[in-house]
Each structure stands twice: as structure tokens, then as C-alpha cells.
């Protein structure tokens, strides 16, 4: 029990800092951490991967709404981007949950590990991207929203970690503002995913202390801690070398992907 509490505290601090620092919600850390806790520490749940994904999205809903509010106070969110993006995000979010409902947990873990590896390699080796000289076409934005929403809810990582690299390449706005914009995309996809995982997992047996695919002890403990650490992540974004942090984050992602793939 003490080990669980310590693990929840560490995950809560890290996910909150990442939500504020990079606008990615922290799901890329929360999902493998919860999967590890549920399987290695023998919490006694029947569907550890689906429970990790659903609980992660519920936590991300809290952290992303705090990050979104704080970045909006700094006028660092470009709302016009969501004119054509928000509806595709919602549709893609529901689609991602539907796909996860059909996929066994071990397959879902393998998919997560591959995606984590790809994003780890991106953050590790990505160079400065020359943004497009013109605004992206509406059809491209719609497709972007569908992809972000689907991957976010399928894997429980929120829309920011998927959207950030794409936002950087497509939109001619400062990177700092893209963090706030990514946090907003994260909130939308996380909220859709949370509601969906509540419903799809409602009749699943063998997951004690859970509502649907949301594990309440994990959600409450990690969620409360992460909400209070989001503001510190935003302050760190002003002071730290984000490039170095992204490299460290990339190495952690690659290590996580290897663990998830062979677990």
C-alpha cells in the first residue's frame, strides 16, 4: 500500500509538470506507470491496460483544464485554430474509444509502445522545423483533428502529445502559444475519452474500486497532486531549456516503449 502511494505521488508530480511545461497532459507518463502499478504490484484488476488508459484520460482532464486556464490568462492560446479542429477532435475521440473497445489489452499495450517509441525518436532527433508559408487547408485541419482525437483516446495520452509536433509544422504561431493550444486540444480529447471509458467499462467485472474504466484511487490521488503541480510546470517553461528537457523526455519515452512492448 505504501509503495502504491509513493508511486502515485511520483506520477502525479511528473504528469502535472509535463502538462504545464509542454502542454501534453502527461498521459504518455501516466499510462505506462499505471500499467506497471496494476501488473507488477498486483493491484488485482482484470483489465489493466484499458483501466490505465481510462484513468489516464480522467486525470488529464483535470490537469489540462488547469493548464488551459493558466495559459489563457497569459493570452497564449490561439482559439481560431479550433474553428475547424474541435469537432474533428470530438469525432476522432469517440472513434478511438470504439477501437479500443474491440482491441485486447495486450495488443493495446503493444500499440502504445510503438507510438511512444515514435514520439520518443521525434523529440530526440527533431530539428528546427520550417513552418509552412501559408495557412493549412481546412480539409487538412479536419483530418488532423480526426487523427489527434483517435490516437489520444485510443492510447489515453491526450491530444497534446500527438498534436504538438503537427501544430509546430502547420501553424505559423509562436511555439510558446502552441503549448497552450496543445493543452486545449488535450482537454477536449481527454474529456471525450473520459466520458466514453466511463460508459464502455461500466459493466466490466473484476476491476474493484472503479467506475467504468476509471480506477478511483489512482484518479483521486494522482489527479489532485498533478493539478497542484501544473502551475510549476508553466513557470518552469519560462526558465528552463525546454530543448534539453525534451531530449530527457525522449529517452524516458523510448525506455518506456521497450518496457511496454516486452511486458
What would the pLDDT profile of 215-240 be if each residue is shown by its tens digit?
999 999 999 999 899 888 878 877 77
212 close to 197: Cβ distance less than 8 angstroms: yes
- Whether residue 23 is predicted with pLDDT greater than 70 in this model: the reply is no
Cα 193 to chain centroid, rounded: 11
CA-CA distance, 73 to 230, in Å (whole number)?
Answer: 14
Give residue 93's pLDDT.
92
Q: With 70 as the cut, is the pLDDT of residue 100 above it? A: yes
pTM: 0.85
Percent of the chain clearing pLDDT 70 (strictly above): 89
Spatial separation of the C-alpha atoms in residues 245 and 205, rounded to whole Å:
41
| Whether the Cβ atoms of residue 29 and residue 155 lie closer than 8 Å to each other | no
Which residues constitute the domain of residue 76? 2-262
Q: Pick from 11, 54, 4: which is nearest to 29 by CA? A: 11
pLDDT of 25 reads 66
Best-predicted range by mean pLDDT (1-5, 188-192, 255-259) = 188-192
pLDDT, average across residues 6-29: 82
- Treating both helix axes as pointing N-terminal to C-terminal, what angle do 27-40 and 242-262 enclose, rounded to 10 degrees? 30
Q: Provide CB contacts within 8 A for 5, sequence distance 6+.
A: 221
Q: What is the mean pLDDT of residues 45-62?
A: 92
Question: For the chain, how many structural domains are there in total?
Answer: 1
What mean pLDDT comes out for the span 35-54? 87
Side-chain half-sphere exposure of 42, counting CA atoms within 13 A: 0
pLDDT for 197 equals 93
Q: Is the model more confident about 157 or about 89?
A: 89
Give the three cell numbers for residue 258: 521497450
Look up residue 228 and give its three cell numbers: 497542484
Amino acid at each position: 500500500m505504501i509503495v502504491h502511494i509513493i508511486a502515485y505521488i511520483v506520477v502525479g508530480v511528473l504528469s502535472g509538470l509535463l502538462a504545464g511545461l509542454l502542454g501534453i497532459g502527461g498521459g504518455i507518463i501516466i499510462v505506462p506507470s499505471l500499467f506497471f502499478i496494476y501488473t507488477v504490484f498486483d493491484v488485482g484488476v482484470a483489465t489493466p491496460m484499458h483501466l490505465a488508459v481510462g484513468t489516464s484520460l480522467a486525470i488529464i482532464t483535470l490537469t489540462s483544464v488547469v493548464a488551459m486556464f493558466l495559459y489563457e490568462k497569459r493570452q497564449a492560446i490561439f482559439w481560431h485554430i479550433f474553428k475547424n479542429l474541435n469537432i474533428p477532435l470530438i469525432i476522432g475521440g469517440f472513434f478511438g474509444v470504439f477501437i479500443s473497445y474491440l482491441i485486447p489489452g495486450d495488443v493495446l499495450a503493444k500499440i502504445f509502445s510503438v507510438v511512444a517509441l515514435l514520439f520518443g525518436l521525434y523529440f530526440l532527433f527533431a530539428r528546427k522545423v520550417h513552418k509552412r508559408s501559408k495557412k493549412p487547408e481546412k480539409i487538412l485541419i479536419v483530418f488532423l483533428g480526426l487523427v489527434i482525437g483517435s490516437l489520444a483516446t485510443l492510447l489515453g495520452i491526450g491530444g497534446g502529445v500527438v498534436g504538438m509536433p503537427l501544430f509546430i509544422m502547420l501553424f505559423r504561431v509562436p511555439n510558446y502559444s502552441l503549448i497552450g493550444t496543445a493543452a486545449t486540444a488535450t482537454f477536449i480529447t481527454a474529456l471525450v475519452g473520459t466520458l466514453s471509458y466511463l460508459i464502455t467499462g461500466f459493466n466490466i467485472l473484476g476491476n474493484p474500486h472503479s467506475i467504468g474504466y476509471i480506477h478511483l484511487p489512482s484518479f483521486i490521488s494522482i489527479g489532485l497532486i498533478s493539478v497542484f503541480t501544473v502551475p510549476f510546470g508553466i513557470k518552469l517553461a519560462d526558465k528552463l531549456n525546454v530543448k534539453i528537457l525534451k531530449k530527457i523526455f525522449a529517452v524516458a519515452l523510448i525506455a518506456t516503449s521497450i518496457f511496454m512492448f516486452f511486458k
